[in-house]
Amino acid sequence: MKTLADFEQSLNLNQPADGLSVQLISLWYDGKGDWDQAHATVDQLSGQDSAWVHAYLHRKEGDTWNADYWYNKAGQKRPDLPLNEEWKQLVLYFLDQNR
Domains and CATH numbers, the chain: 21-97 (1.25.40)
What's the confidence (pLDDT) of residue 96?
92
pTM: 0.95
Nearest to 86 by CA among 21, 17, 30: 30
Mean pLDDT, residues 57-68 taken together = 96
Task: Tell me the per-residue pLDDT of 6-19, one tens digit each, with 9 for 90 and over.
Answer: 999 999 999 999 99
Secondary structure class of 8 (helix, strand, coil): helix
d(CA 28, CA 69) in angstroms, rounded, equals 23
Q: How far is CA 83 from CA 43, 44, 46, 47, 89, in A?
A: 19, 23, 23, 22, 10
> Is the pLDDT confidence value at 2 over 90?
no
Mean pLDDT, residues 41-68 taken together = 96
What's the confidence (pLDDT) of residue 97?
87
